[in-house]
Structure 1
């Protein structure tokens, strides 16, 4: 069988289903591993609470889990994991439903295989189990409702309630609200400012309350409270005492590398947008969405994480614009042309480089390195 026939028989939808399953299993498995280790970020971030000092950012989840523990007697590790499992699984489930009757393309697949897309999760175990999956789930559910003409008035209010609660769980929600407005514009083709305002207020009001009245994440008793409840983190969010802007300045040589990764992603997205209708206005809206998140890059060190969240939101957003198909295996045939060669080059390069959450913004320790070189290096060290 020739290369052309092999490519013609390649079904991007089937590959995406496989990638969804592999990423979901990887994410859920490592989230459990880190939870059982009392990880200071993947578990402890969910256990920030109001019992230590009162109202604060991200504290709603911990207080909620404390109540559940008091009612059930179960370990916090298992209670938190149940909710992480549910949120992560529902995200992948709704994303699968969103693309089920869409005609996927090799170019769309390249987004998932970006080093800060689905492949980014497989490249960086520290991306698993974090609260941004709440934002991914809300947005994917929102886009699914839009795509299937099911976004009723009451469901839109429900989305706003979700955004309000999500912001209390993690303030990062606010900085990605523009994607909800962009998705609505793409669906309706018109600007509906009153509806957009609801989304921004839903996330903005709790954010303002946190700024005005929020206490420190750790008011001095958090570790003692957790210890009494059977969780003993030795690093992480409750130990965080870093001037993040100073940290970025001190590690500026590493952070400059993020501009390489950002440049690659911009070129990748620019190539994708080239094949969309209304690409000029969509490009302007997406630039606006990115600029809206700019305070995150100024205030916090997780630059790779903020880029990764953007790409995941874009993957869901662009699914809205894929053509409808009649089969759950609908896939555009792969043809060998200039577009194919450029897309293939993008995919291969995505497997080569890696974007860390914080630290090195670009390295050649991507998936190829992790599969073919890292195991050999490990064996040599063991030898």
Structure 2
């Protein structure tokens, strides 16, 4: 086993995970779109044509304009944009870690049930608008890491965040990660610099709150039908009291405490081997507290936890050691750190966090790849 560990390369596994996750996200995004999924495709088609200005409406009006100019199907226009965003995110994440020394502990973050593996565990995570913010953050952290974040690029990122707010207001609740990344790189607090990023998301938030109308003002479904998209479920049909929904399923939602607790332990163990871990721990706690309104206002608790972990994975890449080799990886030894990390990975692959409800199940990656296919085959036979 010692010989096997000597030749084990965490970086190669990370590359494989990046490729597999990107392909998986693109393939299942296509299936969601072609079947007119009302929660994924439908969310991209919220528009201003139905009643005027509203939250998330910029995307639908943008694709309507593209359709009017090109005559192409909305399904394929939306999918093309999703593919571009997904590829850009994974491309800049790849560039970020390419000349870093990978560690087994860092690999464990990607294999977390809330990390990249979360996409495999819950295909409804794919194709959603948070990939816009994932891309912006990966690009931002890469520029920071390379010391190439010019003033122009910084303003372009702020403008990207400003626009992203009109695609999905979730952008607001994860802006602290941009500030944390800046601090980790500069090692100093720059209030004026932070103010740009805060304004970029708070100005749109105020505009949306003051002037935004309902997502469906009564004509959205007929407008989409005329444009070749027929939805039978999804965001345009959503008329549920989300807080009451959570109360009615409180036992399922309490299971999120289990998955959240395990993730906290995972991050605590990771930070144990990092410099400035006290400051970073406080910053991450503050970032999570800033997102708490999401957990109160919306039922997708698993989704919010998943978004946090993706931001953390990209953020922590900034802390990895630089290397001249694209295959640089720490040599593993059979010590306590290895065995605890190994245990964390195994547990992560066993359990699953669903997007809304059932916050902890034993239907994770192992179940979905080793057991579920045989159960399906047995039913077919």
The TM-score range, normalised by the shorter chain, is: over 0.9
Counterparts of 1:366-377 in structure 2, within 5 Å, are 366-377=364-375
CA offsets 1:153-191 (integer angstroms, 9 cap, x no match): 111111110000001100000000000000000000011
Structure 1 CA distance for aligned equivalents of residues 237 and 342 of structure 2: 44
**Hey, what does 1:287 align to over in structure 2?**
285
Deviation at 1:381, TM superposition (A): 2.2
**Hey, what does 1:211 align to over in structure 2?**
209
SS of 1:268's equivalent? helix
**Hey, what does 2:36 align to over in structure 1?**
38
**Hey, what does 2:227 align to over in structure 1?**
229
2:260 to 259, 262, 266: 262
In the alignment, structure 1 residue 13 sits paired with structure 2 residue 30: no
Structure 1: state its 5+ residue gaps. none
1:239 to 237, 240, 258: 237
1:70 to 68, 71, 90: 68
Deviation at 1:382, TM superposition (A): 2.2
SS of 2:293's equivalent? helix
Structure 1: which 4+ aligned runs deviate by more than 3 Å? none
CA offsets 1:203-260 (integer angstroms, 9 cap, x no match): 1110111111100000000000000000011100111110000100000000000010
Counterparts of 1:57-96 in structure 2, within 5 Å, are 57-96=55-94
1:317 to 306, 315, 318: 315
Number of equivalences: 381
CA offsets 1:77-108 (integer angstroms, 9 cap, x no match): 01001100000000000000000000010000
Structure 2: state its 5+ residue gaps. none
**Hey, what does 1:176 align to over in structure 2?**
174
Structure 2 CA distance for aligned equivalents of residues 349 and 342 of structure 1: 11
Q: Which moved more, 1:329-338 or 1:264-273?
A: 329-338
Deviation at 1:9, TM superposition (A): 0.4
Structure 2 CA distance for aligned equivalents of residues 275 and 299 of structure 1: 35
Structure 2 CA distance for aligned equivalents of residues 375 and 186 of structure 1: 44
SS of 1:103's equivalent? coil
**Hey, what does 2:347 align to over in structure 1?**
349
In the alignment, structure 1 residue 195 sits paired with structure 2 residue 217: no
Structure 1 CA distance for aligned equivalents of residues 118 and 370 of structure 2: 17
Counterparts of 1:83-122 in structure 2, within 5 Å, are 83-122=81-120
Structure 2 CA distance for aligned equivalents of residues 93 and 272 of structure 1: 25
Deviation at 1:372, TM superposition (A): 1.8
2:162 to 161, 164, 173: 164
**RMSD value over aligned CA atoms?**
0.6
**Hey, what does 2:360 align to over in structure 1?**
362
Structure 2 CA distance for aligned equivalents of residues 213 and 111 of structure 1: 40
Deviation at 1:336, TM superposition (A): 1.1
Structure 2 CA distance for aligned equivalents of residues 238 and 244 of structure 1: 15
Structure 2 CA distance for aligned equivalents of residues 183 and 40 of structure 1: 35
Structure 1 CA distance for aligned equivalents of residues 70 and 219 of structure 2: 23
Structure 1 CA distance for aligned equivalents of residues 365 and 182 of structure 2: 35
CA offsets 1:52-80 (integer angstroms, 9 cap, x no match): 00000000000000000000000000100
Deviation at 1:380, TM superposition (A): 2.7
